[in-house]
Every structure is written in structure tokens, then in C-alpha cells.
A and B are shown apart, each in its own frame.
Chain A
Amino acid sequence: MKPRIGVFVCHCGLNIAATVEVSEVVKAIKDYPGVVHAQDYIYMCSDPGQELVRKAIREKNLTGLVMSNCSPSLHERTFRNLAASEGLNPYLVEVANIREYCSWPHQGDKETATKKALTIIKATIERVKRNQALVPLIVPLQKRVLVLGGGVAGMQTALDIAEGGYPVTILEKEAYLGGRVRQLDRTFISLESAPDLVNEMIDRTLKQPNIEVLTTAQIENLSGYVGNFEVRIRQQIPWVDPDKCNGCEACITACPAEVPSAFDRGLVTRKAIDWTPGERSGDKSIFLDHQVCRRVTHQENCTACQEACKEGAIAYPEDRFIEQTYGAIVVATGHDLYRKSALTEYAEDPDVLDALQFERMLAEDGPTGGKVMRPSDGKVPKEVVFVQCAGSRDPDKHFPYCSKVCCMYTCKEARRYKEKVPDGQAYLFYIDIRSTGKGYEEFVKESVEKERLLYLKGKVSKIARQGDKLLVLGGDTITGVQVEIEADLVVLAMATVPNPGAKELARLLNINTDPYGFIQEAHPKLAPVETLTAGIYLAGTSQAPKDIPHTIYQAGGAASKILSLFSRKELVHEPLVARVDTEICAGCGYCRDNCAFQAVDVDPIRKKAVVNEALCEGCGACATACPSGAIQVKNLDSKQVFDMISIVTQDYSLQP
């Protein structure tokens, strides 16, 4: 069938028309082979402009459109939808960008611009002549969600999705739910008990029938794409049977592996087999931490706990693997604190704590039962110095970013300290007090007045042990004086950093991290809960430091994005994907090696490249890599590219 192409040249007000002689272009293109209709208009995207296009499609029975206007990122969709509504296949519409590529860069040079516009339009006409009528791909959608991390971010996302009616699996690498918040004493600004807050959430999570919780579990492998992620999960089966265990602690006494307790931030030690950290006292259960058990760390055949157990509750089964398909994944892997030892100017001393250690000390379920004491001698500290921005806002040595929550939790910790030690004095060194949440500034001011907190503006330059005390050298930049404090205890508000392993996880999920290892959102303003990989979402501090309310906002955002995705019956994917000519393909695999989306593979038996169309983004990297031209992108194959090049180069002589 002979092509019947319509060319529409837009003025874009004066954006194009001031530089390109639009009427000349229309006159010159009218009789170009294959063109049956050519027309210009002031704004082709306007309602009257679109009506002109519709009319031409109907009356001239057009088989292709060349829309000569702005960038395809702006109006390709507009005109493709228009074509579809007139019964013309949308993939027979192409944009000739004569604004960004022509009128804007050639302002003031009408002759060149007009000539170039004509060349761009002719090249696009040649492309449209070989365009195929394509149909969008339909991709099935598995309406099941995997949430990585069982802290407040993960649980909130899971709850929101589960309440929407879809099944959710929470993977938690620790033996308990609750994450960092579970380690805290109280929350600012309500001074509500953090364990109460989180336990209520854990209860709701465990009781929600649509949520499956897998503790001591991690993601092992991932393949697939949005709607169909194939996930392999590794879960450690608890080595202690909770039904048989009577809590006699014989196993704990027998266990030879004693390590600093990660949950209590090293303030105390625990055995490899011990009470589950973070559980409420009422339902404490014994748990064997595989990561520190000598059977795992030393590959020894230690059976001390099994031998000690009279109830026969202990066995050592192998890890189990679970394979499951998920439609969407949420990364909620949380954060950690920067290590104290990185700040070498602050003494490595038992009485210099990081903020989470102090939090464990304040917590009633902590190793001191909520009593504030110096780790070195157990005395009640009367002069306590809090140091904010320990590692944060320090681009030269540590991290340039603000950790966002330290101003508030330091104030809260100082306030809690004063509640417990009323005759003590708290000194808080800060650079700026960033109390930018609802009620936060009021909280800080109220705490200062109520508990006589003394804020000192400036960073601490050195902390040194001096006999019974810690000598803190700081400054007060307001008065311009050096300040010395003989402190009993120092608390460092260490910078918030991503959880260790976040980078490795990001690599496994094929998502990006920022230079500090936080997961990169798709857009800082417009897509803060999405990653650049479709179907993978973000919640909580794995993305950036944030407090509990912001974590809950983001979790709700991620959940609503997923619920909106799941409200569709199936997914639609652009058909502009790569296609393999199996007659030519030699199975060399160059295409597979060059694909950024893992969309191409080589069939090991047939030795032919195979494209997973649902994963393919149509970038064309495979087509350029292919030595034989066997793999091509639909509607941009090599014939079309060569036709376009011929047009563009026809004015140039091949002779030297």
C-alpha cells in the first residue's frame, strides 16, 4: 500500500515561527513522495489545532503522521492518543522535533533553520514510511508485595497494603520486629514509650491475616520485573523450638559464645543462645543467633546448648529457601549510627556513648533498667555533655549531610536524663538547632526552660580522659569564648548512616544508592517513594535520615503507589522493544552483555538471543552491539536509521 502521510508544522507561537519560515516548509514538503497532506498552524497541540489533525486523518485517509513541533517528551503522547481515537495506529505517529533541535539553537539564522527543519521533517517521513502498526504489550500482574525490613517503615507499608486486601510478606533479618524504634526509650515530642508504640504496631502486624512475617530471613536472589519479581528468600529456621522451651536458661549457661549485644549496643554481652532481644518481658523466648553461634562462625560441631537442654527443644536444621513471585517490592531496610571510633578527636572511652547506647541506658527494658550510670564505675553522672553533629555536617572528614533527627532526640535524651537525675546538668553543643516539625520548636524551648538545659553553640573539638572525669573542650561562638567542661558522661549524636549491607542489597535489586549508600529515590520532589526500577518502592530511613512521622508518611505513600498499581487488571508495556531475527542471530551474547535492564538472554539450547519484552526499555544498546544486525528495536530498525542518515547527508558530497 502506498503511504499517505500527513505533515503538520506547528508555529509554537513564535518559538518555531520566528526562526523557521513555516510556510516555506509546508510549501516544500507538500509534494514530497508519500506526503498527501501538509499544513501549518499556530498551536497544533491546542484544541483547534488537534481538530485540524483529526479532520485530515478522516478526510485524507492518512496512514502516518509526522508532527513537526516540540520535543516528543512533551506531545508525542498527545498526538499518538489523538491518532488512536481516530482509528490510526498510534505507533504510525512520529515527532519531528523542530523546536529544541532547530529553532531554539538557530535563533537569528532563518535560512539555516528553515533548511534544517525541512531535513528533520524529511528524515522523519522516511522513518514513518517503515513504521509498523504495533500493539501495546500486556504483562500479567502478581498482586503480592514483598517488604524488606520489619521496622516501623516496613510494618506501616505492609499494614496499609494488607488492609487494602493484598497479601504482603515482611522479611526481617533480625529475630524480632520493630527495628531501630524498638531500641529507643521514648519518642519526641510526646515522650511516649517507644516500646509501647512499636509493640502495638507489631501486634497489629502479626494479627493482620494478609501479612506473612519471616524473621531471620533475607533476600537471596531477584529476577523479573514490575508485576512479576521472582524472589528467592533464605530463612534461618529457629534452632530453639518455642513450644518445647521452658525458659530454664540451662542452654544460656552452657553456651561458650559470648559477644557484645548488638541490640544493647555493646553495653552488655549476650550468649549466642539467649533471650530474644527486643521482645516484651511477658513473652520472652530464647533465640539462637546464627550469626554468632560457633557452629556458624567457627564451623565447629558445638552442641553445648543441645546437650544442656532437658526438654529437647534445640536442633540445628539447615536454612530453608522460599521462592515466590511478587508484583512489587518495598525497601525499608533502615539505618545505623556512624561508628564512634571514626571521630578520633573524641576519646574511645567507656563513658563516651553514642546516642543509641544512651537510649538503651534510658530505656526501662535496657541493661540498666533505665538507670543512668557511667559504664566505667556505675556512678550516677552529674555533668553530662551531649555533642550534636558528630560526623554530620562535616564534608571534609565525614558526611556533608544533616542527619535531621539528632537535634530532636538529643534534646529528648537530655530531658529524659534530667527527669532521672534532677540535680544533674546537661550541656548540649550544637551548630544549629533544627527543630522543623510540628511542635518541635516548642518541645525544645519547653525542655530548655523546664530542665535548665544549657545549649552551647559550637562543635566540641576534643574529649580527653582526665582522671575521674572527661575533659570536654568546646566553645560558645555567641560570646566567642572557649568552654571547658569536666564531664562525667558524654553522649555523641553520631551521624545517621545506611544499614550495612544496603549497597549490596541495592546491587541485588538493581537500584541505585547515593554516594553515602542511602537508596536513591527516582526524583527528589516528584517521585520520593519510587526507585528508578519500576515496581520497587522506598520507605523510611533507607532513603535518607528521617523521624518517625516522616517515615510513616513515606510508608503510606509507598503503599498507596502500590495499591494504585494493583488497581489495574494487568500492566501495559510500550511495544517499542527489541526483536531478534533468529535466522541471523549467532547467539554471541553481545546484546545480553550490553543490556542495562537484563532484558536479553541467550537460549542455551537454541543459541539464539531472547528478549524479555516486559523488561526491555527499547534503548537500542543491543542493536548497536550486535555484529550482524540480528537484534533491532521495533520502529527504529537499521533500515529506518540508514534512510534517515541518507536524507541528512544528501547535501554532502562523498568526494574528498
Chain B
Amino acid sequence: MKIRLSRENVRGEFVKKVEMISGEDLLKCYQCGKCSAGCPAAFEMDILPSHVIRLAQMGQEEELSKVNSYWICLSCQTCTVRCPRGVDIAKIMEALRLVTLRQKNQNKVEATALPTELLAELPQIAIVSNLRKMSG
């Protein structure tokens, strides 16, 4: 894989948006890998959480759109709690989801399409998380 770096992507709209939504400074991360080391969902991810942050630092929107990692993220915040640089990685994952959803303008789940029986059975927090994660 080859990427081309320039001011257009390193300091581009995508980076700015992710930083604005998450409220985090991507360059604070120095790639120690502690988040990846302890992520309980990493085994299902295409690339590790630290790898996701790295691609975001380099403004690689296109590459990031191909991976499932931030969709697999459980928002359990284990990474956030353990990060030595105080980066809220869970927030960045959430920002990546939001950026993707907003940009593509597509909902992965339609609230109205959910059967009433299912909604009655599901815990409320699960419904809220699901909608936050899968809809824009």
C-alpha cells in the first residue's frame, strides 16, 4: 500500500472534523500501542485501534473508510482509561463513525423499521447505543 502525504490530507478537512467532533488532538498519540494491547474487541477488527489513530493522524480518510475497526468498537473505554497520553480513543472512534455516517448520509439502521416486539425486549441502553452508532 502506498499513500501520498501533503498538506491537503495531513491538515485537511477530515482531520479537522475528527478533531472537532472528538475534541481530541490526534497528534497527542505517540503510537505506543497500549490501546491495541488491551482492546477486548480487537480480535474482530480489521486493523488495531492504534493503527486507526495513525491513519487518522495522516489524514487517510479513504483507507479508513475500508476498515471495520471503529464499527466493532464497543465504546467500553478501556483504551481511554489506559492511554498514557490522555487521549480519549473511544471518542475518536465515535467521531470516525459520525464523520462516516454524516458524509455518506446513510443510516445503517432505521429506527422506524425496528419491530415493536424487539424494541420492547431490548434494554434501552442497547437501543440508544445502536442508534448512536449506526445512524446519522
Using a CB–CB cutoff of 8 Å, the interface residues on chain A facing chain B are 382-383, 423-425, 427, 445, 448-449, 452-454, 456-457, 476, 478-486
Cα–Cα distance between A483 and B60 once the two chains are bound (Å): 12
Which listed residue (B7, B31, B54, B55) contacts A425, Cβ 8 A? B7
Which listed residue (A424, A453, A457, A484) contacts B5, Cβ 8 A? A484
Which listed residue (B6, B7, B54) contacts A479, Cβ 8 A? B54
Q: List A contacts of B55 (CB < 8 A).
A: 479
User: What are the 9 closest A-B residue pairs judged by CB atoms, nearest first?
Assistant: A482-B2, A425-B7, A481-B1, A484-B4, A485-B5, A479-B54, A481-B3, A478-B54, A448-B27
Cα–Cα distance between A424 and B2 once the two chains are bound (Å): 23
Q: Say yes or no: A486 contacts B27, CB within 8 Å.
A: no
Q: Nearest-CB distance from A429 to chain B (Å)?
A: 11
Which listed residue (A449, A454, A480) contacts B10, Cβ 8 A? A454
Q: List B contacts of A457 (CB < 8 A).
A: 31
Q: Say yes or no: A481 contacts B2, CB within 8 Å.
A: yes
Q: Say yes or no: B57 contacts A449, CB within 8 Å.
A: no
Which listed residue (B1, B2, B3, B5) contacts A427, Cβ 8 A? B5
Q: CB-nearest residue of chain A relative to B47?
A: A479
Interface residues of B in 17-57 (CB under 8 A from A): 25, 27-28, 30-31, 50-51, 54-55, 57
Cα–Cα distance between A423 and B10 once the two chains are bound (Å): 12
Q: Say yes or no: B30 contacts A449, CB within 8 Å.
A: no
Cα–Cα distance between A484 and B10 once the two chains are bound (Å): 13
Q: List A contacts of B28 (CB < 8 A).
A: 445, 449
Task: Say whether B92 faces chain A, with CB atoms less than 8 Å apart.
Answer: no
Q: List B contacts of A423 (CB < 8 A).
A: 7
Q: List B contacts of A481 (CB < 8 A).
A: 1-3
Q: Nearest-CB distance from B60 to chain A (Å)?
A: 8
Q: Say yes or no: A382 contacts B7, CB within 8 Å.
A: yes
Q: Say yes or no: B27 contacts A452, CB within 8 Å.
A: yes
Task: Say whether B58 faces chain A, with CB atoms less than 8 Å apart.
Answer: yes
Cα–Cα distance between A326 and B4 once the two chains are bound (Å): 61
Cα–Cα distance between A117 and B51 once the two chains are bound (Å): 69
Q: Nearest-CB distance from A484 to chain B (Å)?
A: 5
Q: Say yes or no: A476 contacts B54, CB within 8 Å.
A: yes
Q: List A contacts of B25 (CB < 8 A).
A: 449
Q: Say yes or no: B1 contacts A480, CB within 8 Å.
A: yes
Q: List B contacts of A382 (CB < 8 A).
A: 7
Most chain B beta-carbon neighbours within 10 Å: one of A449, A479, A482, A484: A479
Taking A457-B31, A479-B51, A484-B3 as known contacts, 16 extra A-B pairs with beta carbons closer than 8 A to each other, sorted by chain A number, are A425-B6, A427-B5, A448-B30, A449-B25, A449-B28, A454-B10, A456-B5, A476-B58, A478-B31, A479-B54, A482-B2, A483-B4, A483-B5, A484-B4, A485-B5, A485-B6
Most chain A beta-carbon neighbours within 10 Å: one of B5, B7, B31: B5
Query: Can you show 11 pairs from A to B with CB atoms below 8 A apart?
Result: A382-B7, A383-B7, A425-B11, A449-B25, A457-B31, A478-B51, A481-B1, A482-B2, A483-B4, A484-B2, A484-B5
Q: Nearest-CB distance from B21 to chain A (Å)?
A: 18
Q: List A contacts of B58 (CB < 8 A).
A: 454, 476, 479
Q: List B contacts of A480 (CB < 8 A).
A: 1
Knowing A383-B7, A452-B11, A479-B51, the reply to whether A445 touches B30 (Cβ < 8 A) is yes
Cα–Cα distance between A424 and B57 once the two chains are bound (Å): 16
Cα–Cα distance between A423 and B4 once the two chains are bound (Å): 19
Cα–Cα distance between A423 and B7 once the two chains are bound (Å): 9
Q: List A contacts of B30 (CB < 8 A).
A: 445, 448
Cα–Cα distance between A115 and B42 once the two chains are bound (Å): 72
Cα–Cα distance between A476 and B53 once the two chains are bound (Å): 13
Cα–Cα distance between A480 and B4 once the two chains are bound (Å): 14
Q: Say yes or no: A483 contacts B10, CB within 8 Å.
A: no
Cα–Cα distance between A647 and B95 once the two chains are bound (Å): 90
Q: CB-nearest residue of chain B relative to A424?
A: B7
Q: Say yes or no: B54 contacts A449, CB within 8 Å.
A: no
Q: Nearest-CB distance from B59 to chain A (Å)?
A: 9
Q: Say yes or no: A425 contacts B3, CB within 8 Å.
A: no
Q: Say yes or no: A482 contacts B1, CB within 8 Å.
A: yes
Q: List B contacts of A478 (CB < 8 A).
A: 31, 50-51, 54
Cα–Cα distance between A517 and B123 once the two chains are bound (Å): 73
Which listed residue (A445, A448, A485) contacts B4, Cβ 8 A? A485
Q: List A contacts of B50 (CB < 8 A).
A: 478
Q: List B contacts of A449 (CB < 8 A).
A: 25, 27-28
Q: List B contacts of A479 (CB < 8 A).
A: 51, 54-55, 58
Cα–Cα distance between A478 and B55 once the two chains are bound (Å): 10
Cα–Cα distance between A303 and B2 once the two chains are bound (Å): 61
Q: Say yes or no: A483 contacts B3, CB within 8 Å.
A: yes
Cα–Cα distance between A448 and B57 once the two chains are bound (Å): 12
Cα–Cα distance between A481 and B5 once the two chains are bound (Å): 11
Q: Nearest-CB distance from B51 to chain A (Å)?
A: 6
Cα–Cα distance between A427 and B5 once the two chains are bound (Å): 9
Proximity bits, B73-93, A CB within 8 Å = 1, else 0: 000000000000000000000
Most chain B beta-carbon neighbours within 10 Å: one of A423, A457, A480, A481: A481
Q: Nearest-CB distance from B65 to chain A (Å)?
A: 15
Q: Nearest-CB distance from B64 to chain A (Å)?
A: 11
Cα–Cα distance between A245 and B93 once the two chains are bound (Å): 70
Q: CB-nearest residue of chain A relative to B1?
A: A481
